[in-house]
């Protein structure tokens, strides 16, 4: 972690995490290890108990209420929207969802000191049992201005060892529709296409592409619904690109190869 007096001063010392799944519990583990007092709430009290058992919490909350220096909303997207109305106070409210425009707009309407957040980290696992220390280290963490204290949001990201990337909420949603949400839709489409294919004829590349479709569908239903306009734009772009690639033109395929190499090398240089 990158801690220090300046970071602690910007962020405060008492942090509440509302939503104790993979992301929320992993975040709580890191913050508690960095010396913060972490309180945790989840609609499923079993998640609260398991997160506490794993050493992620100082305080178990039976309801999303109280006064804190920062509140992190780490529940599914629709639950995060509802949690904006919680009887709680903080100098900074930040979320961890992958769709930003709607929640930033809703937080502004409520007058909350909000910054939209989206850690570019995770796994196929879910719940506090899948949480891990260092999940965000050297990963990107998108931050979207929403009227809240940006210095405190930057400090939170620093404590997780992540790299902050400031981006407008609408631009974030379009870019993530391309890089994440469309990838999930592609993976699901491939699973449907291959439903009658003998497993022995499903090669390693297809198996790796299918991995994304094994993620919890309930969460993805919310994500795709909330980001539908941006996903529709990305889908139109993808259809045109797929037709060009399927034509087998050497120039098109060579350009795609160079772009893919550049993107993968950039991912490694960022620690991903």
Domain ranges of the chain: 8-167, 172-269
Domain spanning 8-167: CATH superfamily = NAD(P)-binding Rossmann-like Domain (3.40.50.720)
**Residue 6 pLDDT:** 56
pLDDT at residue 2, rounded to an integer: 46
pLDDT given at position 69: 97
Q: What is the CA radius of gyration of the chain?
A: 20
pLDDT number for residue 7: 63
pLDDT in tens, 159-180: 999 999 999 999 999 999 999 9
**With a cut of 70, which residues of the chain have pLDDT below it?**
1-8, 124, 267-272
Q: Which fold has domain 172-269?
A: 6-phosphogluconate dehydrogenase C-terminal fold (1.10.3660)
For position 10, what pLDDT does the model report?
78
């Amino acid at each position: 972690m990158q801690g220090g007096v300046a970071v602690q001063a910007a962020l405060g010392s008492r942090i509440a995490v509302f939503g104790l799944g993979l992301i929320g519990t992993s975040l709580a583990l890191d913050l508690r290890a960095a010396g913060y007092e972490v309180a945790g709430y989840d609609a499923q009290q079993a998640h609260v108990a398991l997160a506490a058992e794993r050493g992620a919490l100082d305080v178990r909350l039976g309801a999303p209420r109280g006064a804190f220096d920062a509140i992190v909303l780490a529940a599914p997207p629709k639950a995060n929207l509802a949690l904006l109305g919680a009887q709680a106070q903080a100098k900074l409210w930040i979320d961890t969802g992958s769709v930003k425009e709607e929640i930033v707009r809703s937080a502004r309407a409520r007058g909350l000191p909000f910054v939209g957040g989206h850690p570019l980290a995770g796994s196929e696992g879910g719940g506090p049992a899948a949480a891990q220390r260092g999940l965000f280290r050297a990963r990107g963490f998108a931050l979207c201005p929403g009227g809240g204290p940006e210095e405190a949001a930057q400090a939170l990201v620093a404590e997780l060892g992540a790299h902050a990337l400031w981006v407008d909420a609408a631009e974030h949603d379009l870019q993530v529709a391309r890089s994440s949400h469309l990838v999930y839709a592609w993976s699901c489409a491939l699973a449907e296409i291959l439903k009658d294919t003998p497993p022995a004829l499903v090669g390693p590349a297809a198996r790796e592409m299918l991995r994304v479709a094994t993620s919890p569908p309930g969460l993805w239903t919310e994500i795709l619904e909330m980001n539908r306009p941006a996903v529709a734009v990305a889908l139109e772009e993808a259809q045109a690109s797929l037709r060009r690639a399927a034509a087998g033109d050497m120039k098109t395929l060579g350009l795609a190869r160079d772009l893919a190499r550049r993107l993968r090398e950039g991912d490694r240089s960022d620690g991903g």
